[in-house]
């Protein structure tokens, strides 16, 4: 049986290795380049396996630069295909080409968590398990017939990194067990129960923003669900993006009846920790990273109990006032900047209500924890490219807390 493999990331590499160990005869490999923010790269190791097995390989980002359908049907002619670690939606001409079908791996117990980032969503939701499902690709997203499935438990303190490692190992084990059954035609196949399905939406960089007014457990899940190897949960501190890599609920914290979510209430320089108020308790920060710097102990960055994490409306208004002054100075000397009109419109918004002025600044809008506290809905997030014309003219302090990698 000739096998086509399409994939990337650590899980894709381990899956390819497992298939090779199970005796797969590869017709070809399509290695997908990983996202730029991912520090652990597997394009090289996948290429090494291809070289060792003397299998033709193509490396690509989007599968658009050539007709891969023609290569698969006309040159490689696989009997079956496996798609693992792939973030692209494959066209029908690709997944329907192998006569025995195309199988993919989804990191949930389908039909639960169909869709995007199921591992992260499971931790964010406080779920006690995720899983690995090997299923046939068809027109509907993650809805094809199931071949095999394995549950992966999630402990109350497990991080995304730990769960990802468990999912990678479970994927490799599942393929070793199932591939021989597929070759002999003995593999089971059962339809999913659509009535039992749940779904997840895509995640964008701004979704990593921490809402300090939420319950402690919610904030803790947010941190552990987005930590390495993902881009991380973040907040705003001193006008800059601050990523929280490691934190835990403070078990024996005092009971605060005067509470400002995001306010720092303790700094332990000996332990390197910082205690921050949430909506109902205290979260203890261990490791953080200021934008553009290396990760550090929290107490090396946040040093005062007068500090508050998160961009507040008052902070934004101070910045807008400075912007107004700068625009006025430029206009007074008769040399307004090329985009002064846009600055003036931004500054003019400050004459209205504070929240209205804040909403005018699209990049800063999602960072305002005060919006959640007042019950007003924040501006819905835009497409990543929708704000591109504005980026060059908005100061970095307005952009710092709303940019970052995709989870």
Tens of pLDDT, residues 141-165:
999 999 999 999 999 999 999 999 9
The domains of the chain are located at 2-200, 205-301, 313-399
CATH 3.40.50.170 at 2-200, yes or no: yes
What architecture (CATH level 2) is domain 205-301?
Roll (3.10)
Query: What distance in Å separates the CA atoms of residue 3 and residue 138, rounded to the nearest whole number?
Result: 18
Give the chain's mean pLDDT.
85
Contact 210, 222 (CB under 8 A): yes
Mean pLDDT of 280-287: 98
- Report for 60-69, 324-333, 386-395: range of highest mean pLDDT: 324-333
Q: Which band of pLDDT confidence, cut at 50, 70 and 90, is reported for residue 388?
A: very low
| % pLDDT > 70, the chain | 82
Q: Which band of pLDDT confidence, cut at 50, 70 and 90, is reported for residue 350?
A: very low
Q: Is the peptide bond before 131 cis (omega within 30 degrees of 0)?
A: no
Tens of pLDDT, residues 10-61:
999 999 999 999 999 999 999 998 877 777 899 999 999 999 999 999 999 8
Helices vs. strands in the chain: H and E counts, helices first: 14, 15
The answer to whether the pTM exceeds 0.85 is no
Whether residue 401 has pLDDT greater than 80: no
Please identify which residue in the block is written with the tokens 């990523």.
243
Whether residue 272 has pLDDT greater than 60: yes
Query: What distance in Å separates the CA atoms of residue 209 and residue 26, rounded to the nearest whole number?
Result: 43
User: Going by C-beta distance under 8 Å and a sequence separation of 6 or more, which residues neighbour residue 324?
Assistant: 347, 350
Tens of pLDDT, residues 304-338:
999 999 988 887 888 889 999 989 988 888 765 55
What pLDDT sits at residue 22?
Answer: 96
């Amino acid at each position: 049986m000739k096998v086509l493999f399409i994939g990337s990331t650590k899980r894709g590499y381990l899956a390819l290795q497992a298939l090779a160990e199970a005796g797969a005869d590869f017709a070809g490999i399509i290695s997908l380049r990983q996202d730029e923010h991912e520090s652990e790269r597997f394009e090289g190791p996948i290429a090494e396996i291809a070289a060792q097995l003397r299998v033709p390989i193509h490396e690509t980002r989007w599968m658009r630069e050539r007709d891969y359908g023609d290569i698969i049907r006309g040159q490689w002619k696989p009997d079956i295909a496996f798609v693992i670690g792939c973030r692209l939606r494959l066209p029908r001409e690709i997944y329907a080409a192998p006569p025995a079908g195309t199988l993919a791996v989804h990191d949930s117990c389908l039909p639960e968590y169909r869709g995007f980032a199921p591992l992260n969503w499971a931790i964010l939701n406080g779920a006690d398990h995720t899983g690995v499902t090997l299923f046939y690709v068809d027109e509907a997203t993650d809805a094809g017939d199931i071949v095999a499935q394995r549950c992966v438990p999630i402990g109350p303190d497990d991080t995304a990194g730990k769960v990802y490692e468990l999912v990678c190992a479970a994927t490799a084990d599942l393929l070793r067990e199932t591939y021989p059954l597929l070759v002999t035609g003995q593999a089971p196949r059962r339809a999913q129960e659509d009535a039992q399905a749940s779904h997840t939406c895509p995640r964008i960089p701004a979704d990593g923003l921490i809402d300090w007014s939420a319950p402690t457990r919610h904030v803790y899940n947010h941190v552990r669900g987005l930590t390495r190897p993902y881009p991380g949960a973040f907040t705003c501190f001193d006008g800059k993006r601050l990523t929280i890599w490691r934190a835990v609920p403070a078990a024996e914290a005092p009971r605060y009846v005067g509470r400002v979510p995001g306010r720092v209430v303790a700094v332990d320089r000996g332990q390197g920790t910082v205690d921050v108020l949430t909506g109902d308790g205290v979260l203890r920060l261990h490791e953080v990273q200021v934008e553009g710097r290396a990760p550090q102990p929290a107490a090396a960055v946040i040093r005062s109990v007068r500090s508050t994490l998160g961009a507040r409306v008052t902070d934004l208004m101070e910045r807008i006032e400075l912007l107004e002054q700068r625009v006025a100075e430029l206009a007074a000397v008769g040399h307004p900047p090329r985009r002064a009109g846009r600055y003036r419109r931004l500054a003019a918004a400050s004459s209205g209500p504070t929240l209205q002025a804040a909403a005018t600044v699209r990049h800063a809008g999602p960072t305002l924890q005060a919006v959640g506290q007042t019950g007003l809905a924040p501006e819905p997030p835009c497409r990543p490219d929708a704000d591109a014309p504005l980026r060059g003219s908005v100061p970095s302090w307005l952009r710092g807390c709303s940019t970052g990698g995709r989870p």
